[in-house]
Amino acid sequence: MTINFILMFGLIAAGGLGYAMFVAVRSYLRFYGTRLVTCPETKREAAVALDAAKVARESLLGDPHFRLSACSRWPERKDCGQECLGQIEKAPEDCLVKNIVGKWYAGKSCAYCQKPFESADDIFRHRPALMGTDLKSMEWDEIRPEELPETFRTALPICWSCHIAETFRYQHPDLVVDNPWQNRQGEWTHPVSDSKPPERRVV
C-alpha cells in the first residue's frame, strides 16, 4: 500500500510539474519578442519588450502582471507610467513586430521578379527585404522597429534572391552587365530572337 501510494504521489507530482512547465513555457513564448505600441505621451510608435520571464513565473499563480523590460524611449523615459501596456494586454499578437511584418508582406509580390509572398513560412524562410525611397535594398530587420510603420508606407517588398542580386549590383556595379532585351521580371523583350541570355553576367 505504501509503495503504491508513493508511486501514485510521484506520478501526480510529476504531472503537476510537467503541466506547470508547459504553462510557463507557453506564456514565455507568447509574450517574448519586440512589440510596437503607440506611446501615450508622444502619440508615435515605440518599440517595447515585456519582461517575459516575469510573465512566465506569474502565470503559474494566475493572471500575470505585465511590466516592460525595454523601450525605445529609454533610458530618458524609463520612469514613465507604462500606460502603453494596455495595448499589449488587449491585443498581444497584433502588436508583435514579426506579425506586423508578416501582414505587410502577405499578398504582395517582389518588386523585381514578381514572385509572390504566399505564406508566413515563405516570408521568413529567408529574411525578406524591401526597397526604400533611396532605391537601396535592405533586410527589414536592419530598420529600427519603431521606424517600420513609416517605412512600410513608401517601401516596396523585395524577395531574398533579388535582394542579394541588387546588393551585389550596388556594391560592384563594374562587375554587372545588364541585358537590354530582358526586363527585371525575366521576360524576353527582343522583337526577333527567341534565345534568352541571362539578365546579368559577372565580368
131 near 155, Cβ under 8 Å?
A: yes
- Residue 126 CA to residue 120 CA, distance in Å, equals 11
17 CB neighbour count, 10 Å cutoff: 10
- Residue 137 CA to residue 33 CA, distance in Å, equals 25
* Mean pLDDT, rounded, for 82-91: 92
- Identify the three-state secondary structure at position 179: coil
Domain boundaries, the chain: 9-95
Q: Cell numbers 506547470 label which residue?
A: 20
pLDDT recorded at residue 196: 43
Q: pLDDT confidence of 198, banded at 50, 70, 90?
A: very low
Q: Is the pLDDT of residue 122 over 80?
A: no
Q: What is the DSSP letter of 22?
A: H
Q: pLDDT confidence of 132, banded at 50, 70, 90?
A: confident
Mention every residue, 6+ apart, whose C-beta is less than 8 A from residue 95.
Answer: 35, 36, 37, 87, 88
* Mean pLDDT, rounded, for 91-113: 90
Query: Over the stretch 50-80, which tens digit does the pLDDT of each residue have?
Result: 998 888 787 777 777 889 999 999 999 888 9
98 near 47, Cβ under 8 Å?
A: no
64 near 83, Cβ under 8 Å?
A: no
Q: Is the pLDDT of residue 142 over 80?
A: yes
Q: Cell numbers 506520478 label which residue?
A: 11
Global pTM reads 0.72
Query: Over the stretch 157-180, which tens digit does the pLDDT of each residue have?
Result: 998 888 888 888 777 777 666 655
